Amino acid sequence: MGLKQRLRAGLKRAAITGGLEASWLLARAGVMQAARGRGVIFTLHHVRPKQPRSFDPNAHLEITPEFLDRAIRQLQADGYEFVALDAVPARLAERSVRPFAAFTLDDGYRNNAAHALPVFAAHGVPFTVFVSGGYVDRTHTMWWETAADLLAARTSLSFDFGQGEERLDLASNAARQAAFARIARFILRPGEADAIARLNRIAAEHGIDAQAIPDRSTMTEGELKSLAAHPLASLGAHTISHRALALLDEGEARREMAASADRLQTITGKMPTTFAYPYGDPPAASAREFRLAEALGFKVAVTTNPGTISETSLAGLTALPRVSLNGHFQKRRYVAALASGIPFRLMGRS
């Protein structure tokens, strides 16, 4: 990554920050109140104390427990009521004027129980953890974690993106970030499983066991069963392999979704009613997957398309938007700005 790319990344971060600050001010002034809709569904991944890392391409996927606490307190101050995800359809059908918020956490990280649960419990906030069966059974790996570990520990790397081996310069964190972005593009396309297998082989050659990453970071069947027994917690399906469903043929996509639900039924004794699409953006979750989720009996399915929830969402309960609590923007007022819906209205997304 050269100077131009670094400047572009910095400008993007500054633009997002500026948009959040402006949205917060507009929300405080009572402007664009309709953008809030009826409520908001938040996306989280890791919740854990921050451990400074020189190279941290996944920093956006983690927030601290302290920030989660501040986020909940901000929403309480703004009059939000907290509901379980599977209660959203009934809430939308009501005439309640009080806005609601639902919390979801993707991938089943162990820190969800260790660090997020105590915060949710302290405030009486329900939450849903989306579980990929392949992580529970230690049969699949988490490529974004593997790539981060691989790139962090070296100054160069040979990698075959399909046109023969290339030597990647990793002499700086900017160069590592550029390499990470290339690996992500290589993986997030048709043939994702083969690309991940190639990454895992290269990682193994450099002493990194990709299989050990979900083993140390995601919950076991026993841990998930214990979590699901908590009155505030519920588990939702998130496929087996965590691949982009829209890039699979329909039969395979359906099997991934159904098998994920079946796996959770063996853990909790009941079929899950909620589902989250891996990655969740338009290239990964399309109208076909929304129809499949409905056909498979899921009550609610969520994307990562940003936006708030309104009455019109009742017509698309298997394609609901979510709002990410991003690790780069851990300020209380940004939670209020995001929940207001104003940033998405300004971007023309709601």
- pLDDT reported for residue 96: 79
Least confident of 58-67, 159-168, 315-324: 159-168
Q: For residue 261, count other CB atoms closer than 10 A to its CB.
A: 21
Q: Region 151-167: what's the mean pLDDT?
A: 93
**Residue 280: per-residue pLDDT:** 97
| pLDDT surpasses 90 at 190 | yes
Taken in order 247, 249, 253, 259, the sign of the CA dihedral is negative
Cα-flanking dihedrals φ and ψ of residue 240, to 5°? -95, -50
pLDDT tens for 6-19 read: 556 666 778 889 99
Report whether pLDDT(93) > 60: yes
pLDDT at residue number 245: 98
Predicted pLDDT of residue 13: 78
Share of the chain above pLDDT 90, in %: 89
pTM: predicted TM-score of the whole model, two decimal places: 0.95
Residues 6+ apart with CB under 8 A from 208: 146, 149, 150, 153
* Phi, psi angle pair for 299, to nearest 5°: -75, -35
Average pLDDT (52-65) is: 96
146-149: long-range contacts (C-beta < 8 A, 24 or more apart)? Answer: 146/199, 146/200, 146/203, 146/208, 146/210, 146/213, 147/57, 147/180, 147/183, 147/184, 147/199, 148/55, 148/56, 148/57, 148/58, 148/180, 149/203, 149/208, 149/213
Report helix, strand or coil for 128. strand
Could you state, in order of their start, the residue ranges of all structural domains in the chain? 39-139+214-326, 143-210
Is the pLDDT reported for residue 1 higher than 60? no
Asked whether the predicted pLDDT for residue 104 surpasses 80, the reply is: yes
Assign domain 39-139+214-326 to its CATH architecture: Alpha-Beta Barrel (3.20)
The whole-chain average pLDDT of the chain stands at: 94
Yes or no: say if 103 and 44 are a contact pair by the CB < 8 Å rule: yes
Whether the CB-CB separation of 322 and 303 falls below 8 Å is answered with yes
d(CA 314, CA 310): 8
Render pLDDT for 249-258 as a digit per residue (tens, 0 to 9): 999 999 999 9
Q: Based on the number of CB atoms within 10 Å of its own CB, is 156 exposed (0-12), middle (13-18) or buried (19 or more)?
A: exposed
